[in-house]
Structure formats: structure tokens, C-alpha cells
Amino acid sequence: MANKKITSTKNPYIKNVALLVHKARERRPQGRFVAEGFREVGMALRNGFEAEALFYDESLTGLEQVEKLLASGSAGRPEIISVNRAVFEKIAYRSSVPNVVGLFRMKTRRLEDVEFRQAPFVLVVEHTEKPGNLGAMLRTADAAGVDAVIVCDPHTDVYNPNTIRASLGAVFSLPVVAVSNEEALAWLRKKRIKVMTTSLEASHSLYECDLKEGCALVLGSESAGVTDFWLHNADERIIIPMAGQVDSLNLSASAAVVLFEVVRQRISGQAIRIKP
């Protein structure tokens, strides 16, 4: 059964959850974030994120549905809190109200904890500005089987609600590590991973590059592209050939093209396994 019921939007606990939804400056010091929707909350629970509380509007969702979701894999026992429509709308980010909201503890993710299955496959995203684009790239990276996503000097929070939503919860299934450019490069050099960065002034087409070996693919910000730091330290510069008059793609589209070229090369001549 639900531990408690909250019906006032002025409740201090509810007001704090609402702050965590909208303010990165509140999320970071508290080490907490909010995820919403059965799919996203379920992904967080299944991937070992500790839930402090799950909120639901009993006019939209039954308690048994929340209990079933919780049973999918949570460490500890969070409070299950019933709220009314007004409270739910205050703590939900989306205008179309989802069916559950979860308050979670952040995980400390370090480069030292990243594990590789075979040839390392890493995505590096520098100075990303738009939460939706970051989320879309994480969703693609999860689908492509990337070992880790390194977010360098980010201008957006990986726990931003838009990032979580656009990633469909892939932010929880992937090792996503936020570090400086210098830290990321030092780690890649230590692991002897080839650094490849996109550039309009590159000399090699993406489709002419050997991506079967371990590699880290570096993408820049939406507005400025890759900075000189990565251009000067890259082992190879690559470009996506363009047949039309435009000279660039949306950042998340570029990520999809580049990541799945790695996939294509690595499965060439092998049977493609599709998840059931």
C-alpha cells in the first residue's frame, strides 16, 4: 500500500521535488533527480538507480501498477506516495501528464569503472548545449552498443528531464561520464583508444576509415562544432560526405550516421543479431 498521500502543492517535499525538475543548480548539490513515465522510471530501476520515492495519481494509475514497476529491480524500498492531479502536474515536467514520477539518487560514474566488451567503442560529446540532442544521442548510442558516452565540459545536465525523455531512459542504461576535455583525452590515451573527430576540414571520408578497431568518436557542440582541443589531439579527422548543398547535419543525426557506420563495419560478414 502507499506509504502516504499528499494533496497540497505547497507541501515542502513537493516544492523541493518541483525544484529538482526545473533547476540543475538544485539537482547537483542534492545529488537527486526526477524521472517520469513508466518506461523511463523502469529503466532507472532496472539499472540500479536508487529510488527515494515514487509518486502516482490514483485517478490515472493503480497502486498495483506502481508496485509491479518497483518490483522490476530497485535497491531498497522507496516510499510510494499517492498524490492528486494538482500535485502530480506540479512535479511532472511534461504537459501531457505521465503515469508515475520517481525521485532518484544520482550515481557517481567514473571513467575508471568503464568496461569494454571487445574493441572499445566510445562516443565523446563536447560542450553539448541542447538536452534533447544529448538525449537523442544517448538513445542512439544505446542502440549501437556503445561502451561509454563521455560528456566533456557539458553546457547541459545529463539528468535534465528533456535529456531523460529524449533518451527514452538510455541515460540510465549506458555508462555516461561527465569530465573535462583533458581528463577524457588522458583516459583515452591511457587505454590506447584511437581518437577520431568530425571536422569539415577533414581529409578522410567516414566510409573510408577503418572503424573495426577500438575508437572514440568525438562530436562537437551544435553551434560551434568540435573545438581546437580535439582537432589538435585527434589521431584522425573524419567527415560525413554530403551530396546536397548543406554542409552539416543536426548533431544527433550526425551521431547516428557515425555510430552505425561503426556497427556496419563490425558486423560485416557476420550474422546480425536482433533482440527478441
The length of the chain, given as a count of residues:
276
Least-confidence region, from 102-111, 148-157, 221-230: 221-230
Residues 70 and 160 in one domain: no
CB 132 within 8 A of CB 162: yes
Return mean pLDDT, the chain.
Answer: 89
Check which CATH number belongs to the domain holding 85 and give it: 3.30.1330.30
Whether 273 shows a pLDDT value over 80: the answer reads no
The answer to whether residues 198 and 119 belong to one domain is yes
For residue 253, count CB atoms less than 10 angstroms from its CB and return exposed for 0-12, middle for 13-18, buried for 19 or more. Answer: middle
Q: What is the average per-residue pLDDT within 16-35?
A: 94
Res 41: pLDDT: 94
Nearest CA to 161 out of 110, 221, 103 is that of: 103
275 is a domain residue: no
pLDDT category at 272 given cuts 50, 70, 90 is: very low
75 and 120 in a single domain? The answer is no
The answer as to whether 272 is a domain residue is no
Q: Is the separation of the CB atoms in 198 and 240 below 8 Å?
A: yes
Domain assignment present for residue 273? The answer is no
Contact present, 252 and 229 (Cβ < 8 Å): no
Residue 152's H or E segment, with its range, is strand 148-152
Check pLDDT > 90 for residue 262: yes
Q: From residue 178, how far is each of 46, 108, 156, 184 by CA, in Å? A: 22, 10, 10, 9
**Structural domain of 53:** 4-105
Cell (9 digits) for 120: 572499445
The model's pLDDT over 211-226, given as tens digits with 9 standing for 90+, comes to 999 999 999 877 778 8
- pLDDT at res. 276: 47
The CATH number covering residue 242 comes to: 3.40.1280.10
- Asked whether residue 1 carries a pLDDT value surpassing 60, the answer given is no
**Banded model confidence at residue 156, pLDDT cuts 50, 70, 90:** confident
Q: Which three cell numbers stand for residue 28?
A: 547537483
Supply the pTM of this predicted model.
0.89
Question: 45-81 pLDDT, tens per residue?
Answer: 999 999 999 999 988 888 999 998 888 776 668 999 9
Mark whether 30 and 129 lie in a shared domain.
no
Cell numbers given for 94? 511534461
State percent of the chain over pLDDT 90. Answer: 68
Cβ partners under 8 Å of residue 68, min gap 6 = none
Cell, residue 160:
535534465
143: nearest Cα among 176, 173, 113: 173
Task: Report whether 66 contacts 80 (CB < 8 A).
Answer: yes
- Smallest CA-to-CA distance from 150 within 171, 129, 124, 174 is with 124
Which amino acid is it at 36?
E
